[in-house]
Chains A and B, each alone.
Chain A
Amino acid sequence: MVLFPLICAFLMPILAHFKKEACSIFTLVVVGTVLLIAAYLTIIVLPKWPYTFQIGHWTAPWGIELVLDPLSALMVLTISAFCFLIAIYSLRTIRMEVPLEKAGWYYTAYLLLLTGMLGLMVTNDIFNMYVMIEITGICAVALVLARGTKEATEASLKYLLLAVIGSGFILFAIGFLYSVTGNLNISYVAVELTLANEHYPYLVWTAMGFFLVGFGIKAALFPLHLWLPDAHSSAPYASSALLSGLVVKVYIISMIRIFYLVFGPEMLTGTPMGTLILVLSSLAIVGGSFFAYTQLNLKRRLAYSTVAQVGYIFLGLGLGTSWGLTAALLHIIIHAFMKVGLFMVAGTVYFQTGKKNVLYFSGLGRIMPVSMGAFTIASLSMIGIPLFGGFLSKYALAQGSMQAGGYGFVVLVVLSGLLNASYYLPIVWQAFFTEEKRETFHLDLVPMSMMAPVLIITAGLLYFGVTPGGMMAMIDKAASVLMPGF
Chain B
Amino acid sequence: MLLFSMGCLIILTQQNLIKKVIGINVMETSIFLFFLSIGNIIPGGPPIIRPGMEDVVYVNPLPQALILTGIVVSFSVTAFALAIIVSLYRFYGTVYVDELMKMR
Contact = CB atoms under 8 A, between A and B. Distances in A.
Nearest to A179: B38
Contacts of B34: 172, 175
Interface in B8-28: 8, 11, 17, 20, 24, 27-28
Given A153-B88, A154-B88, A157-B85, A164 B77 contact: yes
Given A154-B88, A161-B20, A178-B38, A134 B77 contact: yes
A156 B85 CA distance: 10
Contact of B91 (A141, A153, A165, A175): A153
Contacts of A168: 4, 7-8, 24, 27-28, 31
Given A156-B84, A157-B88, A160-B77, A175 B8 contact: no
Contacts of A134: 73, 77
Interface residues of B, number: 30
Summarize B's interface: helix, strand, loop or mixed.
helix
Interface of A: 127, 130-131, 134, 138, 141-142, 145, 148, 150, 153-154, 156-157, 160-161, 164-165, 168, 171-172, 175, 178-179, 184
Contact of B8 (A127, A154, A165, A178): A165
A172 B31 contact: yes
16 contacts: A127-B66, A127-B69, A141-B84, A145-B84, A148-B87, A150-B91, A153-B88, A157-B85, A165-B11, A165-B24, A168-B4, A171-B28, A172-B31, A175-B31, A175-B34, A178-B63
A165 B84 contact: no
Contacts of B88: 153-154, 157
Nearest to B20: A161
A320 B77 CA distance: 35
Nearest to B17: A157
A160 B80 contact: yes
A178 B64 CA distance: 13
B81 A157 contact: yes
Interface of B: 4, 7-8, 11, 17, 20, 24, 27-28, 31, 34-35, 38, 62-63, 66, 69-70, 73, 76-77, 80-81, 84-85, 87-88, 91-92, 100
Contacts of B17: 157
B35 A161 contact: no
Interface hub of A141, A148, A160 (most chain B Cβ within 10 A)? A160
B9 to A, nearest CB: 11
Nearest first, the 8 closest Cβ-Cβ pairs linking A and B are A179-B38, A157-B84, A134-B73, A150-B91, A171-B31, A168-B27, A175-B34, A164-B24
Contact of A160 (B28, B69, B81): B81
Contacts of B66: 127
A196 to B, nearest CB: 14
Nearest to A206: B1
A120 to B, nearest CB: 14
Query: Which residue among B7, B20, B35, B92 has the maximum number of chain A CB atoms within 10 Å of its CB?
Result: B35
Contacts of A150: 91-92
Nearest to B34: A175
A165 B74 CA distance: 11
Contacts of A141: 80, 84
A200 to B, nearest CB: 13
